[in-house]
Amino acid sequence: MLVVRHLVVHYGTAEALRGMSFSVAAGETVALVGANGAGKTTTLRAIMGLVRPSGGSVVLDGREVTGSSPAAMVRRGLALSPEGREVFPELTVEENLRLGALVLQLSRAEEGRRLDEVYHRFPRLLERRTQAAGTLSGGEQQMLAMGRALMARPRLLLLDEPSLGLAPKITDEIFAIIRGLARSGTAILIVEQNAARALTASSRAYLVAGGRIVHEGESRQLLLDPVLRRAFLGAASDHNPAASRLGAAGLTNIRLEKPLMNQNFMPSFTSPEELAAHQLRGLQWTVRHAYEGCSAYRAKLEAAGIRPEDIQSLEDLRRLPFTTAEDLRDGYPFPLRAVPYEQLVRIHASSGTTGKRKVLCYTQKDIDDWMYLFARCYQMAGVTPLDRVQIAVGYGVWTAGVGFQLGCEKIGALAIPVGPGNIDMQIQFLLDFQSTVFCSTASMALLMAEEIHRRGLAEKIAVRKIIYGSERSSRSMRAKISELFGGAELFDITGLTELYGPGMGIECPDHDCIHYWADYYILEIVDPQTLQPLPDGEWGEMVVTTLCKEGAPLLRYRTRDITRIIPGPCTCGTVLPRHSRIKGRTDDTIKFRGVNIYPSSVDAILSSIPGLGSEYQMHLTRDEAGRDHLRLVVERGQGVERARGMDLEREIEHQVKKQLLVSIRAEVVDYGSLPRSERKSKRVFDTRIQDEIV
């Protein structure tokens, strides 16, 4: 009956409607649901001819009627009950009603019949027929506005915010009348901020935000969809839509102003050839950018005899010198900076001892790219704008929390930035906010899982996805986390600060591999000893080269992470290439409670404490609660008396806490009691991961 196509309305230069398209069939009740300012009222006014559209069309019964006068629209069978009722307060109820049929120029007898019909439907108006409309209650004025519209006997009634400002009981009454009208065959287009009400009263609904339709479906389906219900309707239910009147309106206000549901962050290339061409352009740009913008890179490239114009194919990548963590530490603080300081908008740093942190700098484009890539991670994990993402990773100078946050907001989901630790608060938020996605390290996820299990809360939380990273995890650990979280799906996310941060790749829904963002960086696998590239499928060290990073580009950066490229396409269907989950690290770096500990930092601390020997061992264990422990066993110096042991232990614990920011337990043992080796002693005993890495 009514078809609205690409309707555009401007108020001055502001665009109120940005291409609204929807339809209403004869006799159907259709709801437009959305927040204040979403464009719902403007839509009704444009259909009715009260505002002139600057684009698009309104088609009624197959005839274009765009821009017709309000009177003409009434004659064609439309009537509007406007927002705010707009009754004439000085006129009586009956005088107000007569105005509704004025343009139809009815006979006195016909007008009388229609008045009777309206009074029959609204007995309250009959009681008040000679009263000035200004003396009516809000609910009665709403009845009057509807009654006045019905005087034209419309085939399609446009109802704008019928429940606005009314008490729940009065709203029930108004909606009972609306249902009666619908049963009598009048088509109704209802605009409502109270989503629960509108969905209960209608058969189909469109969700409106930013002057556009963002979602549509059968109202019953929308109302029953558990995700949508949590997101849009608060505690409302089909049986008790009024329960969350305020909650619904409030949540609707927040959520409908967000990005569109169907944003796509996946790459545009469709074939390996297209990707290769894109990578070559990016590589050529990066080498030139690094050469021209960064003296350290220039010196390295010159030493290797390479000029930017030498990069003619992707094979030429192998001629580039490697970049290492040492390059970053030696040139502290900004060795890889390739743009002027004025173009930088942010720095991040990785953990490390004072003065030896790895510091990376970002331009606005770098931040935007990172945000985009992180949004891609969420998209691959199936996170939508309806999700509530509890972010339990660290916020601060390191890249974790802020990256999770950027991507979450980009995709339009609700971010709950809790940060790490604080199990009680995490649990409370999982319950109170019904978070649907939980982001943390693997050991934090395990800790939470155990706690949820211990308190018997698996049934009461709503987590359906867990995104975790920064740590190795075993198959059995994953299975346990998933089980105790009530069957949540796990996604391993990868990344490193040197690249952009976390979010550089993620496990796909088929859970066999990590897809990585080959349109933003090239991933090579090299033999960690010979540094020669290894064929696809073989395990080796991951080396990355960025393709468009401005602030601190990476040329063949050795990540020390051990993985392998998995050849061939994935069952999930994406064209993005993939690698195995990270198996470990080539150097002895220990990841402990989210902090990278380099054996060299431990060496430095121990040798600064008088009375200690040079031999030590680090024992990493994981207890039943999933908490990691580090025990540092150190020999006393030769000739140092045993009685000093306790003091030395306290001093080691104190210095490690102060310099590495982690709590450990120290144990001082007799000189000569630790095993010696002619080659490099084994110092690290990590029993945290016991079973197979997948």
Q: How far is the CB of 496 from Zn ion (least distance, A)?
A: 21
Q: What tokens appear for 300 in the block? A: 């390295």
Grouping H, G, I as helix, E, B as strand and the rest as coil, residue 365 is helix
Nearest to Zn ion of 337, 515 (CB atom): 515
Q: Considering the complex, state which of residue 570 and residue 662 has its C-beta at the smaller distance from Zn ion.
A: 570
Distances in Å between the Cα of 259 and the Cα atoms of 221, 349, 563 are 22, 31, 36
- Report the SS3 class of residue 22: strand
Residues engaged in binding Zn ion (CB under 5 A): 508, 510, 570, 572
Provide the 8-state DSSP code for 318.
Answer: G
Our CB check for Zn ion shows the closer of 271 and 312 to be 271
Structural Rg of the chain based on CA atoms: 33
Q: Which C-beta is closer to Zn ion: that of 434 or that of 580?
A: 580
Q: How far is the CB of 483 from Zn ion (least distance, A)?
A: 23
Q: How far apart are CA 338 and CA 663, in angstroms?
A: 37
One-letter amino acid identity for 256?
A: L
Closer by beta carbon to Zn ion, 427 or else 570 = 570
Least distance to Zn ion, CB of residue 507, Å? 8
Smallest distance, Zn ion to C-beta of residue 457, A: 32
Quote the least distance from Cβ 554 to Zn ion, whole Å: 25
Contact criterion met (CB below 8 Å) for 126 and 143: no
Q: Toward Zn ion, which CB reaches closer, 431 or 572?
A: 572
Least distance (Å) between residue 400 CB and Zn ion: 24
Cα 137–Cα 142–Cα 144 angle in degrees, nearest 5: 95
3-state secondary structure 102-138: HHHCCCHHHHHHHHHHHHHHCHHHHHCCCCEHHHCCH
Q: What is the smallest separation between the CB atom of 576 and Zn ion, expressed in angstroms? A: 8
- Shortest Å distance, C-beta 266 to Zn ion: 12
Name, in order, each residue with C-beta under 8 angstroms of 195's C-beta and a sequence gap of 6 or more: 33, 232, 233, 236, 248, 249, 252
> Sign of the C-alpha dihedral, residues 473, 475, 477, 479?
positive
- Burial, 690: exposed, middle or buried (Cβ in 10 Å; 0-12, 13-18, 19+)? exposed
Quote the DSSP letter at residue 666.
E
For Zn ion, the closer of residues 132 and 566 by Cβ is: 566
Specify whether the CB–CB gap between 203 and 232 falls below 8 A. no
Q: Residue 534 or residue 570: which is nearer to Zn ion going by CB?
A: 570
CB atoms closer than 10 angstroms to residue 397: 15
Q: How far apart are the first and last CA of the chain?
A: 58
CB 74 within 8 A of CB 150: no
Q: What is the nearest approach in angstroms of Zn ion to the Cβ of residue 573?
A: 7
Respond yes or no on whether the N-terminal peptide bond of residue 333 is cis (omega within 30° of 0).
yes
Judged by beta carbon, residue 434 or residue 574, the one nearer Zn ion is 574
Min separation Cβ 330 and Zn ion, Å: 39
| Closest distance of CB 569 from Zn ion, Å | 8
C-beta contacts of 673-682 below 8 A and 24+ residues apart? 673/635, 674/615, 674/616, 674/617, 674/633, 674/635, 676/615, 681/615, 682/617
Which residue, 404 or 516, has its beta carbon nearer to Zn ion? 516
Cα distance between residue 560 and residue 587, in whole Å: 7
Least Å distance, CB 492 to Zn ion, is 12
Measured from the CB atom, is 280 or 383 closer to Zn ion?
383
- Nearest residue (CB) to Zn ion, 157 versus 518: 518
- Shortest spacing between CB 694 and Zn ion, in angstroms: 14
CA distance 638 to 169: 86
526-529, long-range: CB within 8 Å, 24+ apart, which pairs?
Answer: 526/558, 528/562, 528/586
Judged by beta carbon, residue 456 or residue 568, the one nearer Zn ion is 568
